[in-house]
Structures are given as C-alpha cells and as structure tokens.
Amino acid sequence: MASINDDQHLLRALKNGQESALDQLFRLYYAYLCRAVYKILPDKHIAEDIVQEVFYELWRKRDRLQIKQSISAYLRRAAINKTLNHIRSRKTPVDDETFLPINLTNKTASAQQNLQADELEELINEAIDLLPERCRLIFTLSRHEEMSNKEIATHLGLSIKTVENQMTKALKLLKAALKPYLLSWISILLATFCIM
C-alpha cells in the first residue's frame, strides 16, 4: 500500500488529469480490491469487472473527488458499495470466504498446532459455506467489512430487525456446526497464546 504522502501526491496528480497517477493507483490497489470484492461475491470475473468499474469512476469523477480518508479506504468502500449494488440489482447468489476472529496460524507454534489450526479454519469455512445465502451475506458484511446492522440493512434494502435475525440465525447455525470442535479450538488458542 502507498503511504499517506504518496496518496496525497497521487490524488493531486489524478485531479490534474495525469493518467500516470491512475495507472499507479491501479497497480497499487487492483489486487487488494479484487480480494475485498471476492470475499463478498466469490466470482473472479465479476470481482475484476467491479474493480475496473471503480477505477473508471475514479477517473471520470477525478475533478470532483472529495477523499477525506486514505485512497485505499476510499477505493475499498467504493468497491464494496458497487458489489452490494450488483448483488441488489441482480439478486446474485453470494458465498463467503474465510472468517476467523484471529489468525490461528502462528510462526512460533509447533507444526502440529499449525496443522490443527488449518484444519479448524477449514471446518469454520465449511460451516460458513453451509449457511443460507442471506445469512452468509449478512455475516460476511458484518464480520469482514465491519458494517453495522444499520449499514447492512440500508445497503441490502432490509429492515434492521431482519439483519439482526439473520445474524442471530447465522451465529446459532455456526455454533451448532462447530460445537464438536469447540474444545479443540480453545486448546489451540490457549497453546498459541502461551507460545507468543
């Protein structure tokens, strides 16, 4: 990622119509944005199209840009909003990528602990994959994008109560699916933290 000074320089150059600034921003942030979109909408081609649209819009609106945060945060939010609009307009099925509250793999942990952590991560991913479509989408937006229930409701055109109910349902289903592995998870976490 670029530094704040680089961001400000690139933003000024972009506003002045320098295509090289757009090219540099594209090289810096394209893969990052594709990964962010793919977490919500796991279709590589659609993710790439959405990110390309974000850069097209950035260039088209360059003289009117009002970016108060970093360019990476601005571009990420633009990409997420475009993804949500795409989902809303096409009723696209949504899947989920990885969710873990922390990275369970630790360089100082033993190979066996890392293997157990990888297996547990796989189990969590499988449990998320089994969630109903709406639950997966809401869970992903809440956990990956750190959106509030109100923001999710607004973006998806749902009531806040529906979002809350879907989050409750997702958490109950995940808890039930992962219950047999809960003790292993706790022991891995404890072992990992003790080594750190």
Domain boundaries, the chain: 4-90, 111-195
CB 100 within 8 A of CB 125: no
d(CA 183, CA 144): 25
> Could you tell me the fold of the domain covering 111-195?
Arc Repressor Mutant, subunit A (1.10.10)
**CA-CA distances (angstroms) from residue 85 to 50, 92, 128, 154?**
10, 10, 23, 11
Contacts of 65 (CB under 8 A, 6+ apart): 11, 14, 15, 58
Residue 183 pLDDT level (bands cut at 50, 70, 90):
low
Note the pLDDT of residue 108: 47
Please report, as a single letter, which amino acid is at residue 143: R
Q: Which residue has the tokens 């659609």?
A: 46
**Better pLDDT: 126 or 45:** 45
Q: Within 10 A of 63 (CB to CB), how many other CB atoms are there? A: 9
From 142, 137, 97, select the one nearest 121 (Cα to Cα). Answer: 97
CATH number of the domain at 4-90, out of 1.10.1740.10, 3.50.50.60, 3.40.640.10, 3.40.50.300? 1.10.1740.10
d(CA 98, CA 167): 17
Residue 186 pLDDT level (bands cut at 50, 70, 90):
low
**pTM listed for this prediction:** 0.53
